[in-house]
Amino acid sequence: MSFRSYIAGLGIPTFTEVQTINGIAVVALGFSFYLSWPGSEFKAKVEREAGKPVKMEPGLTRRALAVTGVHALGLFVPALTFLVALPVNQFVMPKWLARADLPWTPSPNVYYAVRAAGCVGAIGLGALMVSVFNTLGSQWNFLGVRERPKLVNSGVYSLVRHPMYSLAMGEEVFMAMMFWNWMPLVALAGVLIPAFAIKMPMEEQAMLDNKEMGDAYKAYKKQVPWRVFPYIW
């Protein structure tokens, strides 16, 4: 089946239902990442209010940067693969990418419902990321603490200590749903989870070592024992 245009003379192309849901998924994923990007104005505001990032011990900085690069690849490579390959191929899944389709073959209604739920979920995560940025405010940083540090323990930070990583892992799950593809799940299990497991202790040690917030962060760890998912991790 396909969605057809009956507007005479315009020559609007025909799209199948699968092409349509692929297009919706591409738009949803792109919008989710757009929402999740802090932007230059936000970064400048953060530096004005809290100063520049405090340099960590050189060896720790190198390791943390390396791990950051790894988990960034784990998130962005699958996303960019879909965002580029599908529009280039007229929103038909290329054969080489279709080899990673989920093995489950449900009814059409379930198939489209799962994919639509993935699209909605991805946009929802983008909106949640905006909320995290607003809660974190001037303390946002890729690594370590800023010159004028302040403990953030409100909002979602009252539930988990690293909510941005929670959302990144959720994005991989929703990506698998919206594109019906297991490649993001491999990136989640093989890249993101190990990288976050290595990086989170580094970040927490930098906060514990900070003279201005070390004691407060130590108490915060006791108040909020979960790093990314309550009662799980």
- Convert 112-147 into a string of H (helix), E (strand) and C (coil): HHHHHHHHHHHHHHHHHHHHHHHHHHHHCCCCCCEC
14-223, CATH topology level: Four Helix Bundle (Hemerythrin (Met), subunit A) (1.20.120)
pLDDT in the model for residue 175: 98
157: closest CA among 173, 133, 125?
Answer: 133
Contacts 24+ apart (CB under 8 A), 205-214: 205/60, 206/54, 206/56, 206/60, 206/143, 206/144, 206/145, 207/144, 207/145, 207/149, 210/54, 210/145, 210/149, 212/149, 213/145, 213/149, 213/150, 213/151
Interatomic CA distance for residues 127 and 144, integer angstroms: 24
Per-residue pLDDT tens for 29-80? 999 999 998 887 888 888 888 888 887 777 777 888 899 999 999 999 999 9
Residue ranges per structural domain of the chain: 14-223
What percent of the chain clears pLDDT 70, i.e. is strictly above it?
94
Percentage of the chain lying above the pLDDT 90 cut: 70
Among 22, 17, 33, 1, smallest CA distance to 87 is for 22
Model confidence at 20: pLDDT above 70: yes
CA distance 167 to 153: 17
pLDDT for residue 1 is more than 70: no
- pLDDT value for 11: 54
- pLDDT at 5 > cutoff 80: no
Higher pLDDT, 3 or 29: 29
- Which range is least confidently modeled, 8-22, 63-77, 94-108, 147-161? 8-22
**Exposed, middle or buried, 209 (CB in 10 Å: 0-12/13-18/19+)?**
middle
pLDDT at 83 over 50: yes
